[in-house]
Each structure stands twice: as C-alpha cells, then as structure tokens.
Structure 1
Amino acid sequence: MSSCREYIKSTFPLIDDDLKQYVEDVLVNGVDDFESSDEVFDAIGEVLQEISRDKTESDIRNICDNLLNMLKPGHTIETTQTVARILNTPVHLASMAASLENNVEEVKSIWLMQRDESLKVDAKKLEKAQAKLQEKQEKRSKDVKAVAAPILETATASQVTSKKESKLEAKGMNKIQDIRIENFDIAYGDKVLLQGADITLAYGRRYGLVGRNGLGKSTLLRMIAGGQLQIPSHFSILHVEQEVIGDETLALDSVLQCDTIRENLLKREKEMSFLVNSGASSDSNLSSELTEIYNQLQNIEADKAPAKASIILSGLGFTPLMQQKATKTFSGGWRMRLALARALFSRPDLLLLDEPTNMLDIKAIIWLENYLQNWPTTLLVVSHDRNFLETVPTDILHLHSQRIDAYRGNYDQFVKTKTEKHKNQQREYEAQMAHRAHVQEFIDKFRYNANRAASVQSKIKMLEKLPELKPVEKEIEVTLKFPDTESLSPPILQMNEVSFRYNAERIIFSDVNLGATMESRICIVGDNGAGKTTLLKIIMDILPPSSGTCNVHRNLKFGYFSQHHVDQLDMTVNSVELLQQAFPGKPSEEYRRQLGSFGISGDLALQTVASLSGGQKSRVAFARMCMERPNFLVLDEPTNHLDIETIEALGKAINKFTGGVILVSHDERLIRMVCKELWICASGSVKSIEGGFDEYRKIVEQELERS
C-alpha cells in the first residue's frame, strides 16, 4: 500500500490530505473485490478527475491500471476466447432476411464473433454471481460512506444560566446591551479547554482574545457563534470564518446584499413602481405605499450604501475593476476578504473575528486597524499580530489555565499589568510562606511545652485560617532552534536583470538586480498579488524567470516554509511518524529531538497531527523543513497560526541562525525584530529601500490617504 500512497502523492501533488486519505481507504477496503481496473475507476476515478482537471479520462484509467497492478502484483484479468467465422462464399442478405425465422443462427454467424461453446454461462450461476456482485457493491458503498465521513472529536460546551435572565428571555423582554456568559465549560473530546469561566462583553468595547496555541480561542468563538453558549437572542452575531461562495454575483453586490432591509425595500420599490407606471392599478394605496418605501430608503441612507461598501472593499485591496468582477473569479484568500468586507458592512451587534490579518497584506492591515478603531458595536477578535492588538482593542481577554482573565487597555498595557500583577502575587506568596515558616517554627519549638500550649493552639488555628496562596504559574517559554550551518564563501545568491511574466500583458516584475549573503535578513513586503511568492520560487529555482538569471552557490541548501505547508501535512499520523515517513531510517530519539527543538515534545509529539492547533502544526512543519539541515531559510508567511510568544521565539531563532534568511511576512513586530534589508514588490518591480519598515509604513499611509 505504501507504493500506492507514494504513487498517488507524486501523480497528484496538489491533492488535499482528506481526499488522499479517502482514496487510500477506498483502495485498502476494496482490494479484495477489485477484479479489473474498470472497477478501480468506478470507485475513485471521478474523485481523481476532480483533483486534476488537466488529465483526461484516458489518463485517469491508466493511473487506475497502475494502482491495480500495485495492489495486486501479477494479477491478470481473464479474457474469453472468440472464434471468428470466415465466409468463403457470397451471402445473399435479402434471401436470408426473407427466411429470418429459420436462419437466425446463420445471420448471427455473419455479424457476431462466436463464443467457444465451453465458455457458455449457466443461467443459475449467472444469477448467483450477479447477486454476489450486488452484495459486494452494497458493502463497498457502506465502506466508502464510512471513510468519507469519519467521526471526529468535536467541541462541547455547558453553561449555568441566570434564572432571572432566562425568564426575561422567555418573555422576550431581555433588552440588555452587555453580553454576560457566566460559569461555562468547554471541552474538545476528553481535553478540558475552559472550566468555570466567565466573560463579560460590554457594548461598544473592542476585545482582543489572546493565549497560547491550542488552548481553545478559536473554539470559544465557534461556540458563541453556533449558539452552544447562550447569549440574549436579540443580539445579531457574525463570525467571519468561511470564505464567500463563488458565483456570478459581483463583489460589490455581494457586500450590498448583506443589508437585507435595504435589499427588501429596493425589491418592493421596484415592484410598486412597475405597478404604478404600468397603470395596472389606480389604487391610491399603491402610491402611498411607494412613498412610504421611499421615506424608509431615505431614512437608512440607502443611496450611500454602494459608496460605503466600495470604501470597505477598497480598503481591503479590491480595485474598482475587481469590485465589478464575479465572486467566482477570486481565489480563496480574496473570498475571505470578501467575507470580512460583508461583516464590516453589516455591522452586527457582536462581530467575531479569528485572525483577520492572516489573509491581508500590510496596507490592508493598516487600513483595518484604522477602521476598527471607530467600530460602533461590540468586537471580539482573536489575533496574534501584536501591533494589531496594540492598536485596535480597548480590552484584553487572556485565556490560560482553563479560565479567562480580563484586562483594561491594549496589549502593551496588558503585558505591563499582568507582569506587575504576577510580581505582586509572587511577593505575597513568598511573604506568606515566610510567615508560615516562622509560625511553624514556633509551633514545632513549643509543641510539647505545657506553659505554651495555649499559644501553640492559637498559632495552629491561625495557620488554618490563612488563605491558601499558590505560586504564580509561569507559562512554559517557547523556544525554537534552527540547525547550525557552516559558512560559504561569496557570492551566495545573485539575481541579474530578472523578469517574470505570465503573458505579454501581465508582467509581474522586471529588471530585478538584487542579491543575498549568508548574513542576510531580508524581508519582502508588498500588496497581495505583487509577486512576493513568485520571487521566492524563482530564487529557489522552482519557477524559471522569463528573462535574466538567478545564480546561487552550488552548496546552498534551501529550507522552504510555504503558506500551504501546514495544510499539506498528513493529518492521520502523529508528529514522530510524520518525520519518519519523510526521513526514514533514523532512530526515534532523533525525530523526538528534532520536534522538541520546535516545542513539540512529550505526549504532544504522539498526538495525531489533526488534533494539533494551527500553531502546533506550523511548528511540526518547521521541524520537518529543518530535518535536511538547510543553510538558507526561505519563509513565506511563517507567522500565520503562531501565537505571540512563538512569533517572538521565531524572531530570536532567526537572529541566532548562522545562515541566510529571506522572509515574506505581514507581521510588523517580526519584521522589526529581524529585518536588516527590506525589499518592496510594487508597480512591476522589486527594490531594496533605505530606512527599513518605518519608511515603508510611511509610503503605505500616504497611499491610503490619497485613496
């Protein structure tokens, strides 16, 4: 089966992990039943065709042939021998047709190949075979359904609700504006994420939800949005989690359709206008109703809605031309931006955002930061972008130790307050421990002294009444470590007059003359679609340039972390097995040591990859990347899914790395930590600028002001 797995992976490099698992399971479950490659094609052909539309049906059938040969080496399909009847005299068809009833076999012998008599099928045997085949197909259908819809662990929530609020809710009289979710638990399978937790979301305030990877931040948002955690029914909630479905709807119209009140009024206005203008009815009530609709449209400023929607789309990177394109023409990343635009335009009572900056470039992030500072309703956002958290939230909710602590102020204020709070708690704990030790010393000294018995008893009671303080729980520090490398003599990497174009009309960039050394810490920035990832692929010789040359040192070994590496991990195995599959033959301790250098240790390394959080999967991807001991790192948006502490650790690891680094990122904090040189992809060129990120931010802010 391993040969099949490798063959599928090499033949369909873009196959989704779930689909790959599905195909493998169908092959494993059906291996005993498959008698021909046609049966294999019937089972998985349609799925394989969907994965790779550039392959014809003939290509897919050949692939199914190869898979069957791998599953059943040496398997041969029985064929029936046929006997051809050779005519040695002319045949008069008219006369034969006239006496057709008497000469049926004669006619058949001309047009049909005759079967060997010994191979005639017994009718009863045929019936039994067909029944058996039907039984097999039904069994296979059940197996396929079981594979296609595996039972996964799901999150569950429980909550204690106020009787008073429940009664008000039942009567439809609960009109409070603040949201209180009290004494609730959340578990994911057997793992308890939150226990006896409380949240209060005051209307009009903006909350940043922070905490380590895997503690349940995204799960909490889904529980609120899905109604597993109850909040008053009069609140409208919008959770931006899934991309907009692509269809013929224009991007601008997709946003405008979120305002259902406006859409319904416009629809009714169109119907009323048609009836009035066509003279179908002279009822004065129609005219008065039409007037009322006009008044309502004016009250909600319906005429200004397209301009508002256009401003939001423009801020998120949609040009006027893109706003007039059908949603089906956009990639998944742009459809996620559309989903965010729809949410911002809708203005729900509670807006839930999960890592909104992951899909945005720096220009769009700066615009979003400015836009959300004036958000009129309640906002709860999960983000690991420290600069975003210092700009947008009015409050921070810190998820840790299965509870949530609330802090006033932005992330910077939260760090200061939390640090001071922990210092005070530690001082109080140490003072109490010293006091306890002093009192215990007195008790131990005079325990058997009759004259001091009353004092000893008094001291014992005093100790029992003291509140039990616990030492401050220190979060485990995240450490990442890239492998040591040997220095190489220059030149290391040089691009000369490099250009890339998809066609004569679409030039991505041209005349690029830039280079890198083993000491380089280069950050590439620019709008989405400006060619950042394309430039990385040219540097690594994954894509050839349209013109020019890219020369690299013959001993340069790239370590490439792409935006999609996390999505391409095998979700069905644990982290140790994942490295074992990619780099077989090494002792288990080496895989564990490699994972441990990226914070995946202990039982975590033995959990299935599917059960890990997004940040933990990223660390596994880093560990796999570094197994080949690269001496030059190429990192494309490595901070997606990482928590703030891990991003800090990544920055420190990059600075300690002895090889070169080229980084594409939208995380301002990381760029400021590691950047020694900044390349900007814009206007069909790639240029290095003086002044670093501060200079680039000025350029972006000036562009936003002009637009």
Structure 2
Amino acid sequence: MIQITDMTFRIAGRSLFDEASATIPDGHKVGLVGRNGTGKSTLLKLLTDEYHPDGGEILVSGGRGVEDPIGMVSQEAPSGPDTPLEVVLRADKERERLLTEAETTDDPMRIAEVQTRLADIGAHAAPARAAAILAGLGFDDAMQAAPMSSFSGGWRMRVALAAVLFAEPEILLLDEPTNHLDLEATVWLEAYLARYPKTLVIVSHDRGLLNKAVDAILHLENLKLTLYQGGYDRFEKTREERLAQIEAQRAKQSAQRKHMEAFIERFRYKASKARQAQSRIKALERMEKLPDAVNEPTTRFSFPNPEELPPPLVTFDNASVGYEPGKTVLKGLGFRIDGDDRIGLLGRNGNGKSTLAKLIAGRLAKFDGDEHRSAKLRVGFFAQHQIEDLDPEATPAEHMARLMPGALPDKVRARLGGVGLVQDKQTTKAKHLSGGEKARLTLALITYDSPHVLILDEPTNHLDIDARDALVQALNDYTGAVILISHDRRLLELTVDRLWLVANGTVKPYEGDLDGYRDWLRQEERAARVAASEDEPDKKNDRKQARQASAEKRRQTADIRKKIREAEKKLEKLTQRKAQLEERLADPKIYEGPTADLKEVILKKEAVDREIESAEAEWLEAESALEEAS
C-alpha cells in the first residue's frame, strides 16, 4: 500500500508538490500522468526514498514479511560477460541465496527446509519463466545466451526491465518502460502488466498502455495528486466533466458574489438594511473557494508543406541492402512511394525496419537491384540518435540558424514555434532542454526545408500525451509522404493508411489492421508457449499444428473482432456527442434562455447516456465472446 499525506517537496527552489495526498491500495495498477516537468519521475524517487519530502509523509508497505517491497528498473544497464538469462535469474535474490545455501550446507534439516522453500517459490521453473519474459521483450534463444556486452544500450535496458518483471516485487515502479521497445514488445508488455498480480505504478505517455494495463490514473497537476478510476480515456472524460462542473459552479458563484457585493455596496451604511448587509458579508466570507482554473498551454505542431512532385517519388525493384558486403539484412525489395503515402512499418526490433528507413532516406546504399529517385526529392529523417547528437552548447535558435543562413530571426523563431519551442526555450542551451524539447528541436531541424518524404523512427519516446496528439494533427495536415516506425499504436492508427511487415529478411504489405496484428502476435506467443512445453521430437509437428490452430481461431473470431471495433467507434462518437451536450449544460447562458431549450438539451443528453450504456453492453458482450473463443 502507498499512502501519501500532505506531502510537500521542492527541488532547486521550485515546488513540485504542495500538500499533495493520495492512497494506492494493495494490488492496484495505477498510471501516473502529467505534463513533462511536473515531477512524475521525482515522485517515484520519493517513493523509493532516493528523495525525502520537505513536509508531510509517505508510507509504503508491502505484503506480510516483505523487507524491501519496491522494485524499479535499474538506471544502470547491465553489461559484461553474463547472458541476459543469467542477469534476469539473479534478480530473484531469495532464489539465488537458497540455491547457494543448498550447495553449501551440510545440515540435513536445513537442506530439507531450503528444498521446501525452493519448491514453494517455483525455483526450478524459474529459468523457463525468465526465458518467457525475455522472449516477450524480443530476445530469441540465441540472444538470451549471448553476452550482455554484445548488446546495444537499448537492448540492455530491456534486460533490466525483464529482471524487475521476473523479480515480481510487491510494488512495481516503472518509468516510461516502452521507450526502448518496439510495437511487438509493447503489445506483450501491455498484456503482461494487465495480469500483474501486485501493485503497479507506471509513468507513461502511451495511451494504449494506460488504457489496457492500469485500472486507475493518478494525475499530477498544480502541485496536487488526484486519483481517477479507470484507464486513460475514462480519466480524460471524467476530468473534462469535473472541470466543466467546476467552471459552471465558478460562473454561478461569480454571479452570486457580484449580486451580494452590489447589495452590500448599496445598503451597508443604510440603517434599515445594515443587518442584511452584514449577513451578506459573512456569507461572502464563508463562500467555498473553488480550485483555480487550469490554463495549460496548448501544444501545437506544424510542418512546412513541400511543392508537389510527379509520382513516384522513390522506387526499388529486386533490391537488397545491409551494412557490410556479404551480410544482407533485407532482400527482394520491390516497392514505390508516392507523395500521398502514409505507411507504418511493423516487425520486431532487429528485423530491419530502421535499415529499410535508412535505405528510403538515402542513408544506406543498396547492394543490388534497381532504384529511382525524383531529382528534386527532399527527405526528412528522424532517429533517436539525432537527439543525442545535438550540440549541447548551442541553443535551438543557433541550431536552426545554421541550417537557414541568411534567414531573418523572425523566420527562424517561427520554425521553432512550429514544434512548440517558444520564448525562452529558443535561447536555452540544448544540454538544459528536456528530452521532449530535444525531440521537438530535432523535428524542427529535419523539416526546415519542407521535405517531400518524412521518415520518423520512434518520434514519441520523449513526448507527453498532449505533444503526441499535436504530432498526430501535424502529420495529418502535412501534405508530403509519411513513413512511420512507432510502438505507439494510437499514433499509427490515426496517421497511417497502409502497413508493411518487415520480417524474414524482406518487406511485404500487411493486409490486416493493427488490432488484427496485435491478435496475431498474441496467438503466435500462445503457439510458441505450447510448442515449448512439448518434447523436442514432437516440437516441429506441434508448431505446425499450433500455427494452424492459431489461423483457424483468427478466422473464427474475425466477425467478433469486427463487432468490437464497430462498438469502439460508436462509443467514441457517442462520447464526443455527450461532451458537447455537457459543454452546453456547463454554459451559464443556457439557464438564462428559454426553458424549452434547456429541457431539449437535457433530454438529448439522457438519450445519449442510454445509447452509451447500450453500446458499452455490446462492447462487453463482444469482448467476452472473443475471450471465450481465445
């Protein structure tokens, strides 16, 4: 259990929490959200005693007899000669200690106790469980047996995540766990965390994860903490309703206050009305102080649109590509890209998505085959390493001015403003910018010359939810072609209309949608688990049968999944309609007009509420049917 009571905390003279309170009961899964820089990661450090509050208190307790209930991903990525499997297994401290004791003790009674405890904690099944977690995060058998020193920093951080998941602490704290994952590993993690049997607090800007893996949202805003039940979409709706109600109350209170103040001003010195005036003065003093209005800045992105070029912009025919001669990553590539294409790349990390992106961007040369590019083609390419490659001593204005020599300062500032870098952020050195601000600067740098093709490789890792929504809008307004690699399903769903699957050394169109792809991944995972549980001589045949069964299940559940998607779309439209009606009801002017108009709005809202209830029932019925069929 986590109990935060009137907690105050300041860092470098800046207040992050002011008498904030919240309670997270045992077994609850909570998403911690708030704008960049509000103190979400700081709160995790307060929970682990890395920081200590200036006022109030934080109480953290685990299960009975648990000495150290909190688990968090290590900030130091593991390295050295150990394998990922060995690193993950060592995360269970009790198992490690008991195994060592079992090999060293000579006391028969103690040996019996140790073996009993090892059986109780499932110690002998631990290697299989650790391997399953690593597989879910993208490590095949060969990778699980390779030395940690052979992996990049991103893959080592995946091992650190696997280790804390394997340890299964009473309270699991995760800070942006999907930043080093691809879409496939993110889908696995969503399902894993949704089943996590203990307390979970996760900082994330991934709507999909916050909708599927948690049952409550802890919102950090205005130095306070507010707990909302449900996933992110429900939180967003509930918060909007709450703000609308407060705004309506504020308007009503303001009118009452003006009326009383006018009475007091007019009659406070008139003997016959003095008592009534004093009564109103006391009523004003007792009037409840409503929360301050939230005036958060709106995040906006815009990318300059290119001039139109005749199609196709890029074509490849029977091409292959790699990084060293004789080590081909992708082959048999045949495709074209036109100016209005919106393409999402699917496939596990290591399959070649980034290699394909670099080929299209002209960063890698083909080994063989045919290639054609429009002579005037300009390509904007975003990759994570570019954020780290920024000049730490240069400001965003200086970075942009280097690319736009001779441009007027107003034009430079306008381009930075197009990605939300405004005012003092334009003159702050890059080393003092947040990860999200560096990502915005990189987006500005790659789009300054109005590229015809925009290639984005995981652009949202450091962006908060509002910035991600702004990126969606900017990409939909942009008139050039977009090629997108992202673990953020919502970004893909709202911006691309074609999917390519990068797998088995080549690239092919994927005919389904992202829901179908998610279901296929989960079926493949189940099939792999079934195949792994059988004896070695029968594995090949069992894998074939599992794949056939998986395909048959997908065919049988296609109609159900279609009903689920239709119900979700219907719910989304009804929720938007309800929000519009509630906005009208929150407007004080409607209460000053004809009663018939007010009654009509109320009746419409009641009708929408009934439709939402019916649509939710349809969705739940379809979800239950899909779960039974799976």
TM bucket normalised to smaller: 0.7 to 0.9
1:395 aligns with 2:251: no
> Is 2:88 aligned against 1:265?
no
Select between 304-313 and 667-676 the one with higher mean Cα deviation: 304-313
Per-residue deviation at 1:535?
0.6
Distance 2:345 2:432 in 1: 33
Answer whether contact 1:429 1:471 (CA < 8 A) is retained: no
Letter in 2 for 1:394: D
Shift of 1:377: 2.0
Contact 1:235 1:350 (8 Å CA) reproduced: no
* 2:389 paired residue number: 568
How far residue 266 of structure 1 moved from its aligned partner, in angstroms, is: 1.8
Given that 2:184 and 2:487 are in contact with CA atoms closer than 8 Å, whether structure 1 keeps it comes out as no
Q: Does 1:525 align with 2:525?
A: no
CA distance in 1, matches of 2:491, 2:15: 32
**SS of equivalent to 2:260:** helix
Find the partner of 2:24 among 185, 193, 201: 201
User: What amino acid sits opposite 1:623 in the alignment?
Assistant: A
Q: Is the 8 A contact 1:426 1:471 kept in 2?
A: no
Residue 338 of structure 1: how far off its partner (Å): 0.5
2:544: which partner in 1? none
- Mean CA deviation greater in 320-329 or 421-430: 320-329
User: Which of 474-483 and 337-346 deviates more?
Assistant: 474-483
Alpha-carbon distance in structure 1 between the residues aligned to 2:186 and 2:509: 22
- When residues 292 and 456 of structure 1 are mapped into structure 2, their CA distance, relative to the original with a 3 A threshold, is closer
CA distance in 1, matches of 2:44, 2:426: 27
Q: Which residue among 565, 576, 591 is the counterpart of 2:412?
A: 591
Deviation at residue 296 of structure 1 after TM alignment: 2.8
- Asked if 1:443 is matched to 2:284, the reply is no
SS at match of 1:469: coil
2:89 to 240, 251, 256: 256
What's 1:136 paired with?
A: none
Whether the 8 Å contact between 2:312 and 2:339 is mirrored in structure 1 is no
In structure 2, how many angstroms separate the alpha carbons of the residues matched to 1:629 and 1:186?
45
Distance 1:198 1:607 in 2: 34
Task: Kindly state the Cα deviation for residue 221 of structure 1 after the two structures are TM-superposed.
Answer: 2.0
Q: Secondary structure at the match of 2:450?
A: coil
| 2:446 pairs with 1:625 | yes
State the match for 2:465 in structure 1: 644
Say which of 264, 286, 297 aligns to 2:118. Answer: 297
Is the 1:213–1:614 contact (alpha carbons within 8 Å) kept by the matching residues of 2? no
Preserved CA contact (<8 Å) 2:30 2:217: yes
**Structure 1 SS opposite 2:246:** helix
Could you tell me how far apart the structure 2 residues matched to 1:613 and 1:607 are? Answer: 11
Contact 2:321 2:364 (8 Å CA) reproduced:
no
* Alignment equivalent of 2:185, drawn from 364, 368, 371: 364
**Structure 1 residues 138-166: Cα deviation after superposition (integer angstroms, max 9, x where no partner):** xxxxxxxxxxxxxxxxxxxxxxxxxxxxx
Q: Which amino acid aligns with 1:220?
A: L
Q: Does 1:310 align with 2:131?
A: yes
2:35 corresponds in structure 1 to 212
Q: C-alpha deviations, 1:542-581, integer Å up to 9, x for none?
A: 1111222332211111111112221122223332233234
Instruction: Report deviation, 1:454.
Output: 2.7
Equivalent in the alignment of 1:179: 2
Residues 632-678 of structure 1 deviation map (CA, whole Å, 9 limit, x = unaligned): 21111101111111111101100000111111111100001011111
Confirm or deny: 8 A CA contact 2:341 2:481 kept in the other structure: yes
CA contact (8 A) 1:562 1:636 kept: yes
* Structure 1 residues 187 and 586: CA distance shift in structure 2, 3 A: farther
Question: Deviation digits for residues 48-77 of structure 1, max 9, x if unmatched?
Answer: xxxxxxxxxxxxxxxxxxxxxxxxxxxxxx
Maintained 8 Å contact 1:241/1:353:
no
SS in 2 for 1:565: helix
Equivalent-residue separation in structure 2 for 1:192 and 1:604 (angstroms): 20
Unaligned runs of 5+ in 1: 1-177, 273-284
* Alpha-carbon distance between aligned partners in 2 of 1:660 and 1:299, rounded to the nearest angstrom: 57
Alpha-carbon spacing, 1:416–1:247, altered in 2? closer, same or farther (3 Å): same
Shift of 1:448: 5.3
Counterpart CA distance in 1 for 2:505 and 2:95 is 41
Count of aligned positions: 518
Q: Indicate the residue corresponding to 2:613 in structure 1.
A: none
Judged with a 3 Å threshold, the aligned counterparts in structure 2 of structure 1 residues 679 and 469 are, in CA distance, closer, same or farther, namely: same
Structure 2 equivalent of residue 110 of structure 1? none
Q: What is the Cα deviation at residue 359 of structure 1?
A: 1.2
Mapped to 2, the partners of 1:208 and 1:189 lie a distance apart of: 26
Aligned match of 2:424: 603
TM-score by length of 1: 0.70
Q: Map of 1:64-143 to 2, 5 A cutoff?
A: none
Match of 1:227 in 2: 50
Aligned-residue offset at 1:214: 1.9
Post-superposition offset of 1:380: 1.0
Distance 1:698 1:349, change over 3 A: closer
* Structure 2 letter corresponding to 1:586: A
- Corresponding residue of 1:434: 255
Distance verdict in 2 for CA 1:183–1:462, change over 3 Å: closer
**Alpha-carbon separation, structure 2, partners of 1:191 and 1:529:** 43
Aligned CA distance change for structure 1 residues 417 and 232 (closer, same or farther; 3 Å): closer
Question: What TM-score, normalized to structure 2?
Answer: 0.78
The separation in 1 between residues aligned to 2:303 and 2:404, in whole angstroms, is 18
Query: In the alignment, what sits opposite 2:558?
Result: none
Query: Take 1:442 and 1:615, find their aligned partners in 2: how far apart are those partners?
Result: 52
* Secondary structure in 2 matching 1:196: strand
| Secondary structure, counterpart of 1:379 in structure 2 | strand
Q: Distance in 1 between matches of 2:521 and 2:352?
A: 17
**Distance in 1 (alpha carbons) for counterparts of 2:338 and 2:479:** 11
- Which residue of the partner structure matches residue 561 of structure 2? none
2:75 to 242, 257, 282: 242
Q: Among 200, 225, 232, which residue is 1:411 paired with?
A: 232
SS at match of 1:514: strand
1:192 corresponds in structure 2 to 15
CA contact (8 A) 1:186 1:193 kept: yes
Q: CA deviation at 1:539?
A: 0.9
Deviation digits for residues 223-242 of structure 1, max 9, x if unmatched?
Answer: 43353236458443222152
Measure, in 2, the Cα distance between the counterparts of 1:356 and 1:339. 10
Match of 1:662 in 2: 483
Shift of the 512–695 alpha-carbon distance from structure 1 to 2, 3 Å rule, reads farther
- Equivalence for 1:327: 148
Q: From the superposition, tell whether residues 312 and 445 of structure 1 become closer, same or farther in structure 2 (CA, over 3 Å).
A: same
Equivalent pair of 1:245/1:327 in contact (CA under 8 Å): yes
Compared CA separation, residues 464 and 262, structure 1 to 2 (3 A)? closer
Alpha-carbon distance between aligned partners in 1 of 2:85 and 2:371, rounded to the nearest angstrom: 41
Say if 1:429 and 1:502 are closer, same or farther in 2 by CA, change over 3 A: same
Cα 1:468–1:199 change in 2 (3 A) is closer
Distance in 1 (CA, whole Å) between partners of 2:266 and 2:126 is 81
Contact 2:78 2:159 in 1 (8 A): no
Distance 2:519 2:111 in 1: 50
Greater CA drift, 537-546 or 452-461: 452-461
| Contact 1:530-1:681 within 8 A present in 2 as well | yes
CA contact (8 A) 2:347 2:502 kept: yes
Deviation at 1:583, TM superposition (A): 3.8
Opposite residue 201 of structure 1, the aligned amino acid is I
Distance 2:14 2:450 in 1: 35
Q: 1:503 to 1:580 in 2, by over 3 A?
A: closer
The equivalent of 2:336 in structure 1 is 515
| Offset of residue 447 of structure 1 | 4.7
Partner of 2:195: 374
CA deviations over 1:514-549 (Å, ceiling 9, x no partner): 111111111111100111111111112111112223
Task: State the one-letter code of the partner of 1:179.
Answer: I
What is the CA deviation profile of residues 18-64 of structure 1, one whole-angstrom value per residue up to 9, with x for unaligned ones?
xxxxxxxxxxxxxxxxxxxxxxxxxxxxxxxxxxxxxxxxxxxxxxx
Q: Secondary structure at the match of 2:319?
A: strand
